[in-house]
Amino acid sequence: MVARDVLYEAARRRTFAVISHPDAGKSTLTEAIALHAKAITEAGAVHGKPGRRAVVSDWMRLEQARGISVTSAVLTFSYRDILINLVDTPGHADFSEDTYRVVSAVDSVVMLLDAAKGLESQTLRLFDVCRAQGIPVITFVNKWDRPGRDALELCDELAARTGLQPMPLTWPVGPAGDFHGVLDCRDGTVVRYLRTVGGAAAAREERLDPTAAAAQEGAAWSVAREEADLLADSGGGIGLERFLAAEASPVLFGAALLNQGVRQLLDFLVDSAPAPRPRADVTGQPRHLDAPFSAFVFKVQTGMNPAHRDQVAFARVCSGAFERGMVVTNTATGRPFATKYVQQAFGRQRSTVDVAYPGDVIGLVNATVLRVGDTLFAGAVPVRFPRLPSFAPACFAVARPADISRAKQFHRAIARLRAEGIVQVMRSQRRGQGGIPVLAAVGPMQFEVALHRMEWEFASPMTLEHLAYTVVRRLVDPGQRPLVDAGWRSEVLEREDGTELAVFASQIELAVLQRLHPHIELDHLVGGVG
Ligand code: GDP
């Protein structure tokens, strides 16, 4: 494999994820995108929702009972000669920790907003993650076919709450609920939509030049033009460097259900979203795209195949060409790892991967030794990518084995859940050195998954004692630990990565501590609340 091929292949890849609040239309948009790219022939074949055709994964009874999808998949397809990897993210807020890790594995993000709701809490928290990692964000305002908010007001909100300068790429012709088409802000033409039934095919559209648009769309066209110009004049002119620097967000309007505005989004991704770039290793050195193969694991998933509980570690390729069968080294253990069974996930179907390039996601089957955050590399020179940052947890519980005689199995199983990133595992000096773990999660459903797996998979049922902490900060100076531990409604929890979290029952305990000890250093965590 010549290096030039790797660079060529990397340049023709776009790896991105969609983040949104539940119900904003992420599944619908994913289907619409895949439909445009002709990756699937019928809407509904990718994501399972009740009433739709297929279910990506119903791998756990819990999942079935709740009707939600806990797993995520990668859709790979080509569009205009570009290879697109759309890394799916779980919809439920409780699994946003998973989304956090997905965001670390992509090169750009589409932030999907419901036109009637604007920026919602989960979207903002996930956006926080993009900002922390400097990931370029494209904003897609969805459901414009239904009554909703004013386009300028939505852009103002975007600027005020994210700090990103909105950069309109398209602007709606007609208010929300009366969607005629979109103005292409770059050339003043209008793409007018002709309705298709049920979103079963790509939207039929016609392009009108500015004169024809003015004549045929009249007032709706001039309002769109004026509003888009207003925003452009206030700093939202198209400046791609500012998008790539994560300072500005291109904004597009559409209706995913009707496949309207989706082609423009795809075209922008292909034309202007970043291709894979060299990733910095732990020392801050960029790993060149044409260096020998390297990748990092951002997700470990168990039991995707209901027939037997297999385990798949998903890794994002950062450099070099991956060839199935090659033996790579796991930096964490220094041990070789054979890659005979490697898959590419496409909805429910899986196919074997023979080669992969920077930007691609490979699924390593039965990789029980791999943990979230592990680096894999080929060649003689080791490389290690930085740990994946953890999301600020919001729920805490002390875990104990239900059957004390199975303590060893219990600890092994907890370690496995930690490796998979199902829950965060912490220790507290206050609870003795005996290794009683405190589990931490972003949402309580992560605990349900943990309880379920402990019982059914590891035959090691556990009990959880929930701790009533609601406010979390990072303790900067470990020497100040006793100050926090002295409070009876606060304590310090130590994460395995060495981070010390100061947790408080409420803002009051935090305020009291800060008043008593004004010099105490506490930081906010990414994605944190409270
Ligand atoms: P998710 O939870 O973000 O994956 O949202 P879904 O894709 O499941 O969509 C939630 C609901 O919004 C569904 O009933 C969709 O049919 C509907 N929806 C999604 N996009 C649009 C749109 O563009 N227009 C309208 N009217 N409804 C939409």
- Region 395-410 average pLDDT: 92
Whether the per-residue pLDDT at 50 is higher than 60: the answer is no
pLDDT confidence of residue 71? 40
User: Atom 22 in ligand 1: which residue has the minimum CA distance?
Assistant: 143
Residues 150 and 253: beta-carbon distance below 8 Å: no
pLDDT confidence of residue 44? 37
Whether the per-residue pLDDT at 40 is higher than 70: the answer is no
Q: What is the C-alpha separation between 328 and 378, in angstroms, rounded?
A: 5
With cut-offs at 50, 70 and 90, classify the pLDDT of residue 392.
confident
Summarize pLDDT for 189-207 with one digit per residue, the tens. Answer: 999 987 655 545 556 788 9
Q: Helix, strand, or coil here: 156? A: helix
Q: 260: Cβ below 6 Å to ligand 1? A: no
Question: If you count DSSP H runs as helices and E runs as strands, how many of each does the chain have, helices first?
Answer: 13, 31
φ, ψ at 277 (rounded to 5°)? -120, 160
CA of 41 to the centre of ligand 1 (A): 19
In whole angstroms, what separates CA 449 from the centre of its chain? 19
Q: 142: Cβ below 6 Å to ligand 1? A: yes
pLDDT confidence of residue 190? 92
Residue 21 alpha carbon, nearest atom of ligand 1: 3
User: Atom 15 in ligand 1: which residue has the minimum CA distance?
Assistant: 25
CA of 47 to the centre of ligand 1 (A): 12
Calculate the average pLDDT of the chain: 83
Q: 49: Cβ below 6 Å to ligand 1? A: yes
Q: 92: Cβ below 6 Å to ligand 1? A: no
- Region 302-317 average pLDDT: 70
CA of 114 to the centre of ligand 1 (A): 9
- Region 353-381 average pLDDT: 86
Q: 172: Cβ below 6 Å to ligand 1? A: no
With cut-offs at 50, 70 and 90, classify the pLDDT of residue 55.
very low
Residue 20 alpha carbon, nearest atom of ligand 1: 3
Ligand 1 binding pocket mutation candidate from 18, 19, 28 (most atoms within 8 A of CB): 28
User: Atom 19 in ligand 1: which residue has the minimum CA distance?
Assistant: 25
Q: pTM of the predicted model, to two decimals?
A: 0.82
Among the listed residues 112, 99, 103, 109, the one whose alpha carbon sits nearest the alpha carbon of residue 27? 112
Q: What is the C-alpha separation between 72 and 106, in angstroms, rounded?
A: 14
Whether the per-residue pLDDT at 267 is higher than 80: the answer is yes
Q: 24: Cβ below 6 Å to ligand 1? A: yes
User: Atom 24 in ligand 1: which residue has the minimum CA distance?
Assistant: 143
Give the number of other CB atoms < 10 A from CB of residue 444. Answer: 13
Q: What is the C-alpha separation between 405 and 422, in angstroms, rounded?
A: 24
CA of 354 to the centre of ligand 1 (A): 36
Q: 47: Cβ below 6 Å to ligand 1? A: no
In the chain, the largest separation of any two C-alpha atoms, in whole Å, equals 81
Residue 255 alpha carbon, nearest atom of ligand 1: 23
Whether the per-residue pLDDT at 304 is higher than 60: the answer is no
With cut-offs at 50, 70 and 90, classify the pLDDT of residue 530.
very low
CA of 74 to the centre of ligand 1 (A): 20
Spatial neighbors of 316 by CB under 8 A, at least 6 apart, are 15, 105, 106, 295, 296, 298, 359, 360, 361
Residue with the bigger pLDDT between 304 and 56: it is 304
Q: 27: Cβ below 6 Å to ligand 1? A: yes
Ligand 1 binding pocket mutation candidate from 20, 21, 23 (most atoms within 8 A of CB): 23
Summarize pLDDT for 96-152 with one digit per residue, the tens. Answer: 677 788 888 999 999 999 999 999 887 888 888 888 889 999 999 999 999 999 999
Whether the per-residue pLDDT at 500 is higher than 70: the answer is yes
Residues 441 and 474: beta-carbon distance below 8 Å: no
Residue 258 alpha carbon, nearest atom of ligand 1: 23
Whether the per-residue pLDDT at 402 is higher than 80: the answer is yes
Instruction: Quickly list H helices, 403-504.
Output: 407-420, 444-456, 481-485
Q: 52: Cβ below 6 Å to ligand 1? A: no
Please give the helix or strand (H or E) that residue 523 lies within, else none.
Answer: strand 522-523
φ, ψ at 185 (rounded to 5°)? -65, -20
Q: 22: Cβ below 6 Å to ligand 1? A: yes
- Identify the bridge partners of residue 139 per DSSP, sorted by sequence position: 111, 251
Q: What is the C-alpha separation between 182 and 221, in angstroms, rounded?
A: 9
Summarize pLDDT for 459-473 with one digit per residue, the tens. Answer: 999 999 999 999 999
Q: 176: Cβ below 6 Å to ligand 1? A: no
Spatial neighbors of 152 by CB under 8 A, at least 6 apart, are 227, 230, 231
CA of 194 to the centre of ligand 1 (A): 20
Percent of the chain whose pLDDT exceeds 70? 83
With cut-offs at 50, 70 and 90, classify the pLDDT of residue 54.
very low
- Region 316-342 average pLDDT: 87
pLDDT confidence of residue 140? 98
Please give the helix or strand (H or E) that residue 182 lies within, else none.
Answer: strand 181-184
Residues 502 and 472: beta-carbon distance below 8 Å: yes
In this structure, is the dihedral angle defined by the CA atoms of residues 140, 171, 174 and 120, taken in order, positive or negative?
positive
Whether the per-residue pLDDT at 412 is higher than 60: the answer is yes
Q: 28: Cβ below 6 Å to ligand 1? A: yes
- Identify the bridge partners of residue 19 per DSSP, sorted by sequence position: 111
Q: 389: Cβ below 6 Å to ligand 1? A: no
Q: 117: Cβ below 6 Å to ligand 1? A: no
With cut-offs at 50, 70 and 90, classify the pLDDT of residue 230.
confident
